[in-house]
Amino acid sequence: MNRAAALLSGGLDSAVAAAWALGAGFDVAALTVDYGQRHRAELEAARAVASHLGISDHRFVGVDLRAFGGSALTDDVAVPRDRCEIGEDIPATYVPARNTVLLALLTALAEVAGAHRLILGANVQDYSGYPDCRPAYLRAFAQVARLGTRAGAEGAEFAVLAPLLHLSKAGIIRLGASLGVDFGLTMSCYDPPAAGVHCGRCDACALRRRGFAEAGLADPTSYAQPPAQPAVS
Amino acid sequence: MNRAAALLSGGLDSAVAAAWALGAGFDVAALTVDYGQRHRAELEAARAVASHLGISDHRFVGVDLRAFGGSALTDDVAVPRDRCEIGEDIPATYVPARNTVLLALLTALAEVAGAHRLILGANVQDYSGYPDCRPAYLRAFAQVARLGTRAGAEGAEFAVLAPLLHLSKAGIIRLGASLGVDFGLTMSCYDPPAAGVHCGRCDACALRRRGFAEAGLADPTSYAQPPAQPAVS
């Protein structure tokens, strides 16, 4: 049995990562974590994506990271908008230990589903800013999964697979298109104004727009607003 | 600033581990995780223990592991009772990836509290059966905490400290007594019949009774039932 456990956020990246795992022949169990994000439209998108991909073992688990504060994604502070570059700084949307919490919950699913592969959509666009998306981190987590589970204690090797790690957003979109992913079901926006509608202005929307443009593919996304005008210099 | 983040379950072990950290001079922030355990008396015990120890930064976070099933602690299946030996088998009370989930949430607290030491009450009694209590696992998790946090990315060294790791239950009780821990506030029972009352029969109650007896200290615990009679052979 070639089973994998995949995080499915409802976003574009995790949909492509899960589609990659299915295409690679894994029997995929999916996990969507409601960590108190205010864009709950993501959760509905995750349900639609799982259904679209034909993943029948899809579980939801709630964990409320708001107890820890400190992030624009879960606190009532402004979402950063209109940033043109994702640089080396850790972004304001950083959620403390988010991937560690998500991968820990994914390890619980892997344990009960008999999966030894943990799949997530982390990529260079993320790990330029988020420490918990970098390759060394992902390798360290695989060790934790191996040493901390019944299956690992009995000899199973665990691996964390991040098939998008070295892809740009355009590369991810091209890969997803080749795998038949319906991007119209995915939700990237940090602050969607309505169900299924992207704001068009936040960092995530800017990245998404640019990704489709650079990939040379039609963008099926419904954006509430056009992109911001570049500042006149 | 010498800050530590400690798991506080409401049980005896975590109370002693937190008291040890305070005694070692750490400024302790505590985390109690409600992972869907059915013995909610533990949560109230955790509150009482934090207050008793003078820990003012005490947070509660809920995560519902019942989505994953597979454990007597969270499912509606019988709790194992009257086992005389804790052997090498992984016990039926195993919760999938429990310590990984708990330590991940503790890492989130550590990140926002500026703590680089993660404290938990894991001990030999645990790690004879639970893979996620063993020293190699705890070292691997420290790597994850270092590589996956903003502070770690900026150079901070993280460590997971399990001060009870090599102590028997009697040794833990002696250490706690020397640190002034009020054991009457702690709750060990897997299935407490009433608030503040231990069943007296489950594995955890048997261990607790035997610990006080072996330590030669008075046991302040209220048990609903006497210990089971040993089988006549």
Which residue did the predictor score with more confidence, B85 or A224?
A: A224
With an 8 Å Cβ cutoff, the interface of chain A facing chain B consists of 59-65, 67-70, 90, 94-101, 103-105, 107-112, 131-132, 134, 136-137, 140-141, 143-145, 147-150, 152-153
Which range among A27-31, A181-185, A212-216, B155-159 shows the weakest confidence by mean pLDDT? B155-159
Residue in chain A lying closest to B100 (CA)? A104
B24 pLDDT more than 50: yes
Q: Which residues contact B215 (CB under 8 A, 6 or more apart)?
A: B170, B171, B173, B174, B177
**Shortest alpha-carbon distance between residue A67 and chain B (Å):** 6
Buried b (16+ CB within 10 A) or exposed e, A126-157: bbbbbbbbbeebbebbbbbbbbbbbbbbeebe
Most confident of A13-17, A70-74, A201-205: A13-17
A43 has pLDDT over 60: yes
pLDDT digits (tens, 9 = 90+) for B121-145: 998 876 666 778 888 999 999 999 9
Give dist(CA A132, CA A94) in Å, integer.
10
**Chain A residue at shortest CA distance from B154:** A131
Amino acid A194: pLDDT: 87
Residue B149 and residue A96: Cβ atoms within 8 Å? yes
Residues in contact with A155: Cβ distance below 8 Å, sequence separation at least 6, in sequence order = none
- Residue A214 confidence (pLDDT): 97
Closest Cα in chain A, distance from residue B195 (Å): 26
Among B69, B70, B149, the residue with its CB nearest the CB of A97 is B149
Q: Which position has the higher pLDDT, B149 or B81?
A: B149
Q: What percentage of chain B reaches a pLDDT higher than 70?
A: 83
What is the distance in angstroms between the Cα of A222 and the nearest Cα belonging to chain B?
Answer: 33
- Give residue B13's pLDDT: 96
Q: Which residue has the tokens 């009457």?
A: B184
Cβ of A96 within 8 Å of Cβ of B107? The answer is yes
Between B153 and B224, the more confident residue is B224
3-state secondary structure of B197: strand
Instruction: Provide the pLDDT for residue B38.
Output: 60
Which pLDDT belongs to residue A20?
Answer: 98
Give tens-digit pLDDT for B175-233: 999 999 999 999 999 889 988 899 999 988 999 999 999 999 999 999 999 988 765 65
- DSSP letter for each residue of B23-36: HTT-EEEEEEEE-S
Domains of chain A: 3-215 (3.40.50.620)
Give the mean pLDDT of chain A. Answer: 86
Span A116-134, mean pLDDT? Answer: 83
- pLDDT of amino acid B226: 92
Say yes or no for a CB contact (<8 Å) between A132 and B149: yes
**Angular region, B195: left φ>0, alpha ψ -120 to 50, beta rest:** beta
The answer to whether the Cβ–Cβ distance between B108 and A65 falls below 8 Å is: yes
Whether B88 shows a pLDDT value over 60: the answer reads no
pLDDT of A38: 60
Q: Is the pLDDT of residue A55 over 90?
A: yes
Contact at CB, B97 and A104, closer than 8 angstroms: yes
The reply to whether ipTM tops 0.90 is no
- Using the predicted structure, report yes or no on whether residue A9 has a pLDDT greater than 70: yes
